[in-house]
Amino acid sequence: MERLLNFVYQYRAFFTFLVLQLFCGWLIVENNQYQNTKFFNSSNRLAANIAGFSQGVREYFALRKINVALAEENARLRTRLEQRTQSFYQLDTRELRDPAIINRFEYVSAKVVSNSTHQFKNYITIDKGQADGVQPGMAVISHEGAVGKVKSTSQHFSVLISLLNIDEHVSAMLKRTGHFGTVQWDGLDPRYTQLRFIPRHVNPLPGDTVVTSGYNAIFPPGILVGIVQDVKLKEEAPFYEIKVELAQDFGRLAFVDVVKSNLKAEQDSLETKGEMR
């Protein structure tokens, strides 16, 4: 403390000059409109820049919560859109009055915690499980397109079979022609898959859109799978070889929606009974 007092005493002339300078500056700003305006504009600009920087830092550290909230909101909006689509395009009066059909699909948002893309059989782990109503066999999609289906679940996690799995088959169709086939990965490039069993009398073209067919109770119809990139037909071959660029870039997959089909159990039960007869 004594050293501080000695320092102030030693440079007392300088500190007196500094105080007087600040006082003069304040008098100039206070008593001149132009200087007053310039001063407050500059100070407000500086304060705004500091506040903006501070807000940016806070928003950066809040991005994870924001992303989770947006994913959950997307799931809710997707459910409402599905219900509204059913209402507008199902013309059967009974179906319009049946809440089970109107609410056929529900969506559960989940975060990807593990994802492989370079194996022959790739799997994805998400942070939702039995506690959230997720069950094996449910379809999984993203805002970009089809992703896969649930293979197994625990209380709080689930493992998905990715579309990048040579054992995974998804019923799909060419949107332009309406012809049905099966999407199956060939184990080569994670950006592309194959559309199989399109007969030779069809005329598929590069640029055609491939979507889920809705021929099972898992995927909603019309979910984007990808875009046709190459079409080949060997002599005497019954089906085309169709290369499809996947809509979902699996190397950047972060959030998904698990599709809960409320009519799947009923459909599976009826089909099982039909096969037993």
Kindly report, residue by residue over 73-126, the tens digit of the pLDDT. 676 666 656 545 544 444 444 444 555 555 667 888 888 899 999 999 999 999
Q: Would you say the pTM of this structure is higher than 0.75?
A: no
What are the extents of the domains in the chain?
2-61, 64-276
Mean pLDDT over each residue of the chain, to the nearest integer: 79
Q: Nearest-CA neighbor of 226 among 151, 174, 153?
A: 174
Domain range 64-276, CATH architecture? Beta Barrel (2.40)
Kindly report, residue by residue over 189-233, the tens digit of the pLDDT. 999 999 999 999 999 999 999 999 978 667 888 999 999 999 999
Kindly report, residue by residue over 28-59, the tens digit of the pLDDT. 766 766 666 665 556 545 654 664 566 566 55
